[in-house]
Each structure stands twice: as C-alpha cells, then as structure tokens.
Amino acid sequence: MASSSSITQEQVELVVRTMAETAIKNEAYFSELDAVMGDADFGVSLAGGFKAVLNGWDNFDKSSIGSFLLSVAKEITSNTGGCSGPVWGTLFMRCGMAFRGKTDINIEEIIAAFKSAIEGIMKRGGASLGDKTLVDALDAMVRSYERSNADGEPILTAFKKASDAAVETRETTKDWVAKRGRQSFTGDRSIGTYDPGIVAVGDMTKAIVEALGC
Amino acid sequence: MKKFVNDPANFVKEMFEGIYLANKDKLKWVPEYNILCRADLPKDRVVVMQGSGSGHEPAHSMIVGPGMLDACCPGNIFAAPPMDYVYECTKLIANDHGVLHLINNYQGDRMAWDMAREMAEADGIKVGVVIIDDDVSVTNSLYTVGRRGVAGNFFVIKAVGAAAANGATLEELVELGKRVNSQVRSMGVALSSCTPPAKGAPIFEIGDDEIEVGIGIHGEPGRRRDKIRPAKEIIEEVFTAVHDDLPFEKGDRVALMINGMGGTPVSELYLLYGLAAKKAEEKGLRIAKNYVGNYCTSLEMEGFSLTMLKLDYTLETLLNEPAEIPIRVF
C-alpha cells in the first residue's frame, strides 16, 4: 500500500529501473567526466552493470524488496568493470540485506539501510568522508533524510530534498582533492573537477524524483 | 601467438571441462560459476575453498581433492572471480561446520570475497577467512594493497586441508592458516613474459638478455629489470631476500620449494633447487621437506619462484598427511 510515510516494492523497482536507464543514457557523459582525471571507463563500466540488471530483470527473485535488491547486487557486482562493481554492488547488497522480507519500507528503514551501505562502501573501497567519492553524496542524502524524518515530512518530499542535497554535492566537492580511486593519482590536479560517481548519484536521484512524481 | 586453443573466450571453460572429464568420478563441475568441487563433499567437517584467477594451474583448479581444497571457483585468466562465483560456491559446499575462504591478497579478490562472505553470512553460513601474502619482492603492487599472494599458497592449502580432514574447527583452521602464512616467504624471477589467450599478446615486454627480479604471477613488475646472470647469482639474491625477510634462523627446520612459472624445464628447476639447498645448508637450516615443480604458474612464463616455510612439529605432520589431487604422475 502506498502511503505518505512509506514506499512500495513496485516503487523500489521503479527506482532501480530509473537508475539503470540514467546510467545507460549517460554512458558517454560519465566516461567523459572520468577522462578528465581517471581512466575514462566509469561510464562504460556502470552502464555495463546496469544493462546486465535490465537483462536479468525478469529472473530476479521479487518475493521482497530485499531479495530483489540482492539480485540486483549480484548482477551489478559481476558485470560492472573496475572498482565500480564492488562499490555499487555493495550499495545494493547492504540495502537488500536491510530490506529482507519487506514489501514496503519507511524513511527510518531507508536511513538505516543507507548508513549500512555507506559503511560497507567505505570498508570495501577504503574511502572516508571527504575523499571526494560517491560516499559524500550518499552521506548528504542520509543527513537530508534525517532532517525530513525529524520534521515528519512525507516520504516523497524527503526524496526530493535528498536528491537536491546529492546534486548540491557535486558543486561543494568540486574544489576538494580526490583521495581514492584513479582520480587520486593526480593529486592536486583533481581540484576543480567533478567526481563522476558523485555526478552519477545526483543525476540518478534527479531522474528518480521525476519518475516517482515527488 | 600459437596456443592450443579454440575460441580464446572459452579457454578457461574448456580447461575446466578437461579437468572434469579426467576426474569424473571424483569431481563435480558447475560451468556457470567455474566451480570444481569434490563429488564426495564432506558434511562432517569444515570445508575449504579458494578462487583467485585462472592461469596459475595447477593452483587452484587442479588441487581440489581429499586433503587439499574441497572446492575452487577461479575467475578468468588472471582475473579475480566475480562475487557471485564465490557466493554460489560457498552456498554449494556449506555445512554446519562452516566454510574456510583462502584469499589471495589482491584488491579484486579481496573485494569479491568480502562481499560474498557478507552475503553467505546473511544466509546463516559460518565463514572463516585467511588472507595469503607471502611475496617479499615488493610491499605493494599493481593489483594489491600490501604484499602479493604467490606460491606460498600451496603450504597454507596443504596444512589447512590436512587439518580440516582431521576435523579441526573453523576457528582452529583460521588460526592455522594465518600461522602458515606468517611463516612462509616467496620471491620470483622471470626470463620471459606470457600470453593470456584472450589477450593474444604478451602481458609485458622483456629483452632477450633481460630478467625481471621479483616478478608477480600476473606479470606485475618486481624490484627491478636486470641482465641475465649465472643461476647461482640469481639464487643468491632470491634466497637472501626470502631468508632475511622472516628472518629464518640457524637451526630452523624448513620446507623449501622451487616453483616453476610454467615455461621453465624441470631440469633447470632442479639445477636451481641444488643451488638453493646448498645456500640453506650454509645458513644452518635443515630442509625437512622439499618441493620442485610447477605449483603456481603464470601460463607459459619462463621463470621460477623460491618459497621457504619455517616448520614446527604440527606443520611438518600436516605436510606429511596424505592428499590426492587431479594432477598426478602415476
């Protein structure tokens, strides 16, 4: 049941499909961003993983949000090149484990899942907050969810605000030094460039907000 | 490039098929996930598995058998297995006693195995982890955070394989595996490069008169490029690097291995062993066990690595326990 305080499995599936479509549509753009400082494979890697998700979609275990997201995690991890596979795979895996057996989820459950995902990604890739990675965008989203939760806002409003927070991160982190991944090999030269992972999170959440009609 | 190959993309799969067909009564093969496991999987004790990349045969796919690995799930040539290979393999072989993951210390392996462990644990499977990083050549490498795992793997697998067969618990096996890893050291030298079938070209260039000192098993650079020298000078350098790293001490009982990288004839390996054994004697070490042959290779690379393990009574006993694997002479 859709309500103002939770989202349904159907909506979660729409979120993932929208993420996939965004990754595939922006394949070239994300790679161009990566070419500035990295090895120009980010867009191709990410699109490859999400194409596999769409291909495998009909065979996913959709008995709950958790099982669905774990199926997504397996496809992403196994089909995304470079370090993006384990990083994005961990995002879906930790959320999948947090939503085991659930067919709808509320904002508090989403906050807990995001925190677990951020912790997992940091552990997996060795990134810290402030290293100019997608962790910074996800962290901004969590803090926005927490404010919305404290204010008792409807869940779709919380999504809209969290998306704004994620999009904002791309500008606030622009002048930081990249400390993880291939971007970090360039040291200070990464100042003034956008992090492709952070941009991808922002673009995806923007598309999600539109798709869900937040 | 000349190789015995059909479609290079199917190289690993066809190799697995060959191993399976030669051991149909002893092995089970799951082609979707590159899994080879014992047909008679033990249910009454901890099971032991490893993956890492293919191209290092007989490690890991040809050392599944009683007293060694219970299962393996390698990735493509020189590529870590994807997370789902490890997860599916873990689920397939799991029992109430737990599953031991033996992981080579490369970034791709670490991440894939870490994720698979998390997922398996969420399913209620008990998983223990031992990370292998025996290469003294370099402190960090192309695909690693920290030292690389190379031929020292053999000793970790042999010891925990024997202990698992004797009914050791998961905690005891983790402890044992870590202990073996902490007492084993390796270093390699390459004379030539090697060619992964799907790549079709050598993974690095090396001159006719050059050697790579401290080579990795995926062609990663070592300490330096050098000119070819007499074998005794090469052994002198490699033995000293391995010996001084632990360090081994006068009176230690050791296992000494000269491992071929795939393309070096057994004659040269024994020549190297003789030189290394004399060095060990000079240092006052007692060689209780020796190993000469291809244990952990890099396809057809010409080269060798020297591995030395400090023994104690428990380890020596475990190395002497019977084991049976698909590659066999008799």
At a CB cut-off of 8 Å and minimum separation 6, what does A144 contact? A158, A161, A162, A164, A165
Sequence-distant (≥ 6) Cβ neighbours of residue B153 within 8 angstroms: B50, B59, B60, B102, B104, B132, B134, B296
Q: What local confidence, expressed as pLDDT, does residue A184 receive?
A: 65
Report whether pLDDT(B30) > 80. Answer: yes
Is residue B319 assigned to a domain? no
Residues of chain B contacting A89 with CB distance shorter than 8 Å:
83, 115
**Domain identity same for B32 and B179:** yes
Q: Say if B204 falls within a structural domain.
A: yes
Q: What is the mean pLDDT of residues B51-66?
A: 94
Which domain does A97 fall in, by range?
A: 7-212
CB A53 within 8 A of CB A16: yes
Q: B254 and B248 in contact (C-beta within 8 Å)?
A: yes
**Do B25 and B140 fall within a single domain?**
yes
Are B173 and B131 in the same domain?
yes
Size of interface A-B (CB pairs under 8 A): 41
Q: pLDDT of B6-29, one tens digit each?
A: 999 899 999 999 999 999 999 999
Report which of residues B262 and A185 the model is more confident about: B262
- What digits encode the pLDDT tens for the residues A139-149? 999 999 999 99
Domain shared by B60 and B175, yes or no:
yes
* B51 pLDDT more than 80: yes
The SS3 of residue A109 is: helix
Of B83, B107, B145, Cβ closest to residue A89 = B83
Q: Clarify whether residues B24 and B160 are in a common domain.
A: yes
**Are the Cβ atoms of A77 and B107 closer than 8 angstroms?**
no
One DSSP character per residue, B264-319 reads: S-HHHHHHHHHHHHHHHHHTT-EEEEEEEE-SS--TTB-EEEEEEEE--HHHHHHH
Chain A residue closest to B122 (CA)?
A97
Residue B260 phi/psi, 5-degree rounding, is -85, 145
Q: What is the pLDDT of residue A193?
A: 86
**Residue A193 structure tokens:** 């460039």
Locate the chain A residue with the closest alpha carbon to B84: A74
Confidence of residue B132 (pLDDT cuts 50, 70, 90): very high
Q: Average pLDDT in the B243-262 region?
A: 98
pLDDT tens by residue, A155-187: 999 999 999 999 999 999 988 888 766 566 566
Same domain, B245 and B285: yes
pLDDT at A152: 96
Q: Do B234 and B242 touch, CB atoms closer than 8 A?
A: no
Q: Does B48 share its domain with B132?
A: yes
The reported pLDDT for the residue numbered A185 is 59
pLDDT at A189 over 80: no
Look at residue B38 and give its three-state secondary structure: strand
Lowest mean pLDDT across B163-177, B199-213, B308-322? B199-213
* Percent of chain A whose predicted confidence (pLDDT) is above 90: 70
Residue A1 in domain: no
Band (pLDDT 50/70/90 cuts) for residue A90 is very high
Higher pLDDT, A123 or A140: A140
Residue A95: list chain B partners with CB under 8 A: none
Place of tokens 């912790």: A119
Check if B60 is active-site: no
Mean pLDDT of B99-128: 93
Residue B72 dihedral angles phi and psi, to the nearest 5°: -140, 160
Q: What is the pLDDT, as a whole number, of residue A192?
A: 85
Residues B52 and B79 in one domain: yes
Q: What percent of chain B has pLDDT over 90?
A: 85
Q: Do B119 and A93 touch (CB under 8 A)?
A: yes
Residue A184, phi then psi, degrees to nearest 5: -70, -25
Q: Quick one: how far is CA B318 from the chain centroid? A: 17
State how far residue B293 is from chain A, nearest Cα, in angstroms.
34
Q: What is the mean pLDDT of residues A11-31?
A: 96
Check which CATH number belongs to the domain holding A72 and give it: 1.25.40.340
Could you give the CA distance from residue A121 to residue B157 in angstroms, rounded to a whole number? 30
Q: Please tell me whether residues B216 and B166 are part of one structural domain.
A: no
N residues, chain A: 214
Domains in chain A: how many in total?
A: 1
Output the domain CATH number for residue B112: 3.40.50.10440
* CA-based nearest distance B1→chain A, Å: 27
Of A77, A83, A125, the CB nearest to B82: A77
pLDDT of residue B281: 97
Q: Which domain holds residue B211?
A: 184-313
Phi, psi of B326, rounded to the nearest 5 degrees: -60, -35
Confidence of residue A1 (pLDDT cuts 50, 70, 90): very low
Q: Which of B60, B97, B218, B243 is catalytic?
A: B218
Report how many domains make up chain B: 2
Q: Is the pLDDT of residue A29 over 50?
A: yes
B146, part of any domain: yes
Looking at the domain assignment, is residue B128 inside a domain? yes
* B178 and B214 belong to one structural domain: no
Instruction: Give mean pLDDT, residues A46-56.
Output: 95
State how beta strands B47-50 and B286-293 pair: unpaired
Give the CATH number for residue B253. 3.30.1180.20
Which candidate from A74, A90, A97 shows the least CB-CB separation from B84? A74
Q: What is the pLDDT of residues B139-186, one digit of tens each?
A: 877 777 789 999 999 999 999 999 999 999 999 999 999 999 999 999
Cβ within 8 Å, pair B83-A70: no
Is the residue at B320 inside a domain? no
Residue B148 sits in the same domain as residue B191: no
State how far residue A153 is from chain B, nearest Cα, in angstroms: 33
Give domain status of residue B168, yes or no.
yes
**B68 and B149 within one domain:** yes
